[in-house]
Amino acid sequence: MGEKKYLIVVDMQKDFIDGSLGTPEAQAIVPGVAAYIRARKAAGYTVIATLDTHEENYLDTAEGKKLPVRHCIRGTAGWALNPEIRGALEDSRLLEKPTFGSVRLPEIIKEETDSDDRLTIELLGLCTDICVVSNTLLLKAHFPEADVRVKADLCAGVTPEKHRAALETMASCQIDLI
């Protein structure tokens, strides 16, 4: 029985930090996220960063009709990872996702782990109330025995109130907030 540890860095992209959907709270967590990535890499965690990825037709999609703000359009400056985060990630795996939660993320972890491995999965990033909560609940559903945790102070929501509500939802679903 081995041990596998993952850090999932969710959507630390320009548009969510200081671009079209940016917030002061998102800007404030950048240095801490970069430091935490480096610390977890040094502690042997496998780091995977997700990239919210939309195409030019975003406003015509179901998501775009409900959130009519162009963001994270593939190849644009807003789609890029924040430079400080990109530097901390170095050669970590990047995973594009076309919507809130990545169905590929649990598949990757399943491919890389044995059924008897002790599994720890930590998540942080943006936005707590949309993509962080979606990916966290997907992972908990796929790995109910895993230690799934969210680094609450290194997440930011669309608003502080939505951030707190998402944390409360995750705690109700047996996600540890660290």
Architecture of domain 3-177: 3-Layer(aba) Sandwich (3.40)
Burial grade of 94 (CB within 10 A; 0-12, 13-18, 19 or more)? middle
Kindly report the average pLDDT of the chain as a whole number.
97
Which own/partner pairs from 137-141 qualify as long-range (CB within 8 Å, at least 24 positions apart)? 137/101, 137/170, 137/173, 137/175, 138/101, 138/102, 138/103, 138/105, 138/106, 139/8, 139/105, 139/106, 139/109, 140/173, 140/174, 140/175
* Dihedral Cα 23, 39, 106, 26, nearest 10 deg: 0
pLDDT in tens, 50-61: 999 999 999 999
What are the phi and psi torsion angles at 98 (to 5°)?
Answer: -85, -5
The answer to whether the beta carbons of residues 6 and 108 sit under 8 Å apart is no
Cα gap 105→47, rounded to integer Å: 12
pLDDT in tens, 16-34: 999 999 999 999 999 999 9
Residue with tokens 């491919």: 111
For the stretch 31-61, what's the b/e string if a residue is b when 16 or more beta carbons lie within 10 angstroms of its beta carbon? eebbebbeebbeeebbbbbbbbbbeeebeee
Distances (CA, A) of 36 to 32, 55, 112, 145, 177: 6, 31, 23, 24, 15
Q: Is the pLDDT of residue 1 over 90?
A: no
pLDDT in tens, 60-106: 999 999 999 999 999 999 999 999 999 999 999 999 999 999 999 99
The model's confidence at residue 127, banded by pLDDT at 50, 70 and 90, is very high
Residue with tokens 């967590």: 29
Residue with tokens 């170095």: 90
Predicted model pTM: 0.97
